[in-house]
Homo-oligomer: A and B are copies of this chain.
Amino acid sequence: MDVQVVNCMTCEEFVRVFGNVVERCPLIAAALWSRRPFSSTLELENGFNEFIDSLSIEGKEGILRCHPDLAGRELLAGTLTVESRGEQGQAGLTSLSSADALRMNQLNSQYKEQFGFPFVICARMSDKDRILQQLESRVRNQQLQELQCDIEEVKSICRLRLQDIYNRAAKSTKL
């Protein structure tokens, strides 16, 4: 997607296209529309990162709490966002054995109990074994260290979601 296409979007179009780059936080994309024109798509990506970094600790925790559990209730209920469903599928979380599913649920609960926000990881850059290992290890982190760790994962998710949007746009232009 050419950055000029992005710069020509109305705010409704922009929020429709980029509204879930940060999971269930359309407010962030909607805020970034104020920064047009962007000189490059990288500048838009940086905008997401900067906005996230500019939030207070509770604001960052709020972002994390808008994320679903991995292999959790929402996956079973079919209420995940399209993006999240795809990402959890790619990491093999939609076809866990009962034992792995149980283990992940226990660790997710323990993690949320510990920190007050869900465990977030860029699932597409991982797989179920690494996710289980990360859950087991990160639950021992300090509160602020773990908040920052989760927020960096949110940024990785953002980057891949933006790439998907650009790739889809490039494909549809070629058709």
Residues of A within 8 A of B (CB): 11, 15, 24-35, 51, 54-59, 61-66, 112, 116-117
How many monomers of this chain does the complex have? 2
Roughly how many angstroms separate A30 CA and B15 CA in the complex, as a whole number? 20
Q: Given A25-B27, A33-B65, do A116 and B59 touch, yes or no (CB 8 Å)?
A: no
Interface majority SS (helix, strand, loop, mixed), chain A? helix
Closest to A60 in B: B31
Give min CB distance, A22 to chain B, whole Å. Answer: 8
Give min CB distance, A109 to chain B, whole Å. Answer: 10
Roughly how many angstroms separate A29 CA and B65 CA in the complex, as a whole number? 9
Give min CB distance, A72 to chain B, whole Å. Answer: 10
Closest to A36 in B: B116
